[in-house]
């Protein structure tokens, strides 16, 4: 069963494909199957936005399963001109690490990140079906 990962982010796709490597679930992106556009992420929670992304892909390819995630930073700061989709990975270092996210290999990042943990659980669930 092919699965659409509702993203246009090549780094995210690479991370999740690595987690599913060797499984019977090929991970495709929106671009891989020719879906144009992106979901409108106007939810009030990360969960709502992830669901919006998954539904966006499902509505355009209902014969395939879909997955999505959403992450964010919540910083109390004065309101200034935010840049959409700014890559924060070069400036954040996880606790206990000596490298920022951008310096890590995909395999290592997957071993410690929230996304890696979540999609490993998704793989176990799908393989149990």
Per DSSP, what are the bridge partners of residue 5? Answer: 29, 67
* Cβ-contact 36, 52 below 8 angstroms: no
70 a catalytic residue: yes
Task: Write down the catalytic residue from 32, 42, 70, 95.
Answer: 70
Half-sphere exposure of 5 (CA within 13 A, CB side): 26
Closest CA to 61 of 8, 3, 117: 3
Residues catalogued as catalytic = 70
């Amino acid at each position: 069963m092919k699965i659409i990962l509702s993203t246009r982010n090549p780094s995210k796709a690479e991370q999740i494909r690595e987690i599913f490597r060797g499984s019977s679930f090929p991970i495709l992106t929106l671009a891989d199957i020719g879906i144009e556009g992106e979901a409108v992420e106007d939810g009030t929670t990360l969960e709502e936005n992830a669901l919006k992304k998954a539904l966006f892909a499902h509505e355009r390819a209902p014969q395939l399963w879909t997955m999505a995630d959403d992450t964010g930073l919540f910083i109390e700061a004065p309101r200034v001109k935010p840049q959409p989709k700014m890559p924060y990975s070069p400036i954040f270092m996880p606790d206990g690490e000596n490298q920022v996210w951008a310096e890590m290999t995909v395999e290592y990042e997957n071993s410690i990140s929230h996304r890696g943990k979540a999609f490993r659980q998704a793989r176990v669930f799908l393989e149990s079906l």
